Amino acid sequence: MAEAPVFDAHADSIGRALDLGHDLGRSGPGHLDLERGRQGGLGAWVVVCWVDPVLYRDRPFERASAMLDATRDLARRHPARFRLVRNGRELAQAQADGCIAGIPGMEGGHPLEGSLEKLQHFFERGLRVLTLVWNNHLPWVRSCRPEAPAGTPAGLSDFGRQVVRELNRLGVVVDLSHAGDRSFYDALETSTQPVIASHSGCRSLHDHPRNLDDPQLRALADQGGVCGIVFYPSFLDAEACAEDNRLRDTPGFRALRAESEAELFLERQRYLTRESTPLPAARLVQHIEHAVEVAGIDHVGLGSDFDGIECGPQWIEDASCYPILAELLVQRGFGIDDVRKVLGGNMRRVFEQVTAR
Ligand SMILES: [Zn+2]
């Protein structure tokens, strides 16, 4: 599989570099760094800037900018191994030069602070994937979470539609993971480009609001888009979800303390990785198989959510493990070309198409 680079549409690891000063050029704690990415055949990584909406309530734009700075800093420190790319041509060149291609992404539109000028600013600084909304509802887009403040639109507001049109115009991939169902269809209806759900599972296998149901998978595919299947056990499996909720309520989990939010997250990663019943990797494969069955082989990819989640399924523990997933797909009867599409080809196609300006 060495010649089939992986495209991971969603991984959060850059927060470790910014908040803890970790050099992601070296293996360390957490799930993804350049070393383990290389071992796992990672060819393209959407470097997600996620801004905690509570911690940075008053300055999401500033925080997102700092995360973009950290992403650029990683590229500056490791020019032979990691390069930021703006389009399909640059992505292909980076991979040909043996670099992991970094694609700046943003999870949630709150750092736009309601301004298309700020979107333009982020675009100029390299942004190429925008997840419209995270779990916090915005005045212009409803998230998939149940309670929303008064005044939240049912789906996208007029401004929300303007954001989608502007993303199309600039050449930024629209990502609908975390979006409410109505927001999902409003965005699809508005977008003239294929869209992705960067890190979601299949609702028909686990009825969770973060997953897509079959009509959503078909609608995404009809427009040429791709669903990146997430590695998070809580989204893949009802029992794993129940156990995770239970573990978060134990005295051991509640007693975890650390100097910073970023350290605390690593503590939680260690705790839940140790205490959880490992979810068989076959469950992840089932979600991929179901999505392929419903959406077609050209419309399924990967979005691990590494370092945004505490642990992945058994054997798929970090960014060195994508080849194990490839092997499991082969064992289930996927042909080599189909494995390549799921591991990277499909996401790369959408990225190339949307960013070709
Ligand atoms: Zn997410």
What is the tens place of the pLDDT at every residue in 160-203? Answer: 999 999 999 999 999 999 999 999 999 999 999 999 999 999 99
Residue 2 is predicted with a pLDDT of: 44
Q: Ligand 1 mean position to 251 CA, how many Å?
A: 26
Residues in CB range of 256: below 8 A, 6 or more apart: 264, 267, 268, 271
Q: Is the pLDDT of residue 228 over 50?
A: yes
Q: Ligand 1 mean position to 199 CA, how many Å?
A: 7
Q: Ligand 1 mean position to 107 CA, how many Å?
A: 7
Q: How far apart are the first and last CA of the chain?
A: 31
Q: What are phi and psi of 123, to 5 degrees?
A: -60, -45
Q: How far is residue 130 from each of residues 22, 105, 171, 174, measured CA to CA in Å? A: 25, 6, 11, 5
Q: To the nearest whole percent, how much of the chain has pLDDT over 90?
A: 98
The CA distance from 283 to 236, in Å, is 7
Q: Ligand 1 mean position to 97 CA, how many Å?
A: 30
Residue 297 is predicted with a pLDDT of: 98
Q: To the nearest whole percent, how much of the chain has pLDDT over 70?
A: 99
Q: Ligand 1 mean position to 71 CA, how many Å?
A: 18
The CA distance from 7 to 345, in Å, is 7
Query: Domain for residue 251, yes or no?
Result: no
Q: Ligand 1 mean position to 201 CA, how many Å?
A: 12
Q: Ligand 1 mean position to 310 CA, how many Å?
A: 12
Q: Ligand 1 mean position to 133 CA, how many Å?
A: 9
Q: Ligand 1 mean position to 210 CA, how many Å?
A: 9
Residue 1 is predicted with a pLDDT of: 46
Residue 116 is predicted with a pLDDT of: 98
The CATH number for 327's domain is: 3.20.20.140
- In order, the DSSP letters of 71-97 are HHHHHHH-TTTEEE-SSHHHHHHHHHT
**Residue 89: how many other CB atoms lie within 10 Å:** 12
CA 258 to mean position of chain CA atoms: 26
With the C-alpha atoms ordered 18, 22, 28, 33, is the resulting torsion angle positive or negative?
positive
Residue 201 is predicted with a pLDDT of: 98
Nearest Cα to Cα of residue 350 among 305, 295, 307 = 295
CA 86 to mean position of chain CA atoms: 17
Q: Is the pLDDT of residue 159 over 90?
A: yes
Q: What are phi and psi of 229, to 5 degrees?
A: -75, 130
Q: Ligand 1 mean position to 134 CA, how many Å?
A: 7
Query: Domain for residue 117, yes or no?
Result: yes
Q: Is the pLDDT of residue 44 over 80?
A: yes
Q: Packing angle between helix 158-170 and helix 181-190, nearest 10 degrees?
A: 50
pLDDT (average), residues 255-268: 94
Query: Domain for residue 143, yes or no?
Result: yes
Residues in the chain: 357
Say what the pTM is.
0.97
Query: Domain for residue 1, yes or no?
Result: no
Q: Ligand 1 mean position to 232 CA, how many Å?
A: 10
Q: Ligand 1 mean position to 254 CA, how many Å?
A: 23
pLDDT (average), residues 270-299: 97
Q: Ligand 1 mean position to 11 CA, how many Å?
A: 9
The CA distance from 227 to 160, in Å, is 21
Q: Coil, helix or strand for 221?
A: helix
With the C-alpha atoms ordered 242, 245, 247, 250, is the resulting torsion angle positive or negative?
negative
- Structural domain span for residue 330: 6-239+279-355
Amino acid at 128: R
The CA distance from 122 to 70, in Å, is 14
Q: Ligand 1 mean position to 305 CA, how many Å?
A: 7
For all residues of the chain together, what is the average pLDDT? 97
Q: Ligand 1 mean position to 357 CA, how many Å?
A: 28
Contact 83, 102 (CB under 8 A): yes
The CA distance from 229 to 203, in Å, is 11
Query: Domain for residue 146, yes or no?
Result: yes
Longest alpha-carbon distance in the chain: 53
Place of tokens 């990277």: 344
Expressed in percent and rounded to 5, the helix, strand and coil fractions of the chain are 45, 15, 40
- In order, the DSSP letters of 135-179 are SS-BTTB-BSSS---TT--SSB-HHHHHHHHHHHHHT-EEE-TTB
Residue 10 is predicted with a pLDDT of: 98
Query: Domain for residue 113, yes or no?
Result: yes
Q: Ligand 1 mean position to 333 CA, how many Å?
A: 30
**Residue 226: how many other CB atoms lie within 10 Å:** 32
Query: Domain for residue 224, yes or no?
Result: yes
pLDDT (average), residues 207-216: 98
Query: Domain for residue 249, yes or no?
Result: no
Overall number of domains in the chain: 1
The per-residue pLDDT for range 63-119, each reduced to its tens digit, is 999 999 999 999 999 999 999 999 999 999 999 999 999 999 999 999 999 999 999
Q: Ligand 1 mean position to 74 CA, how many Å?
A: 22
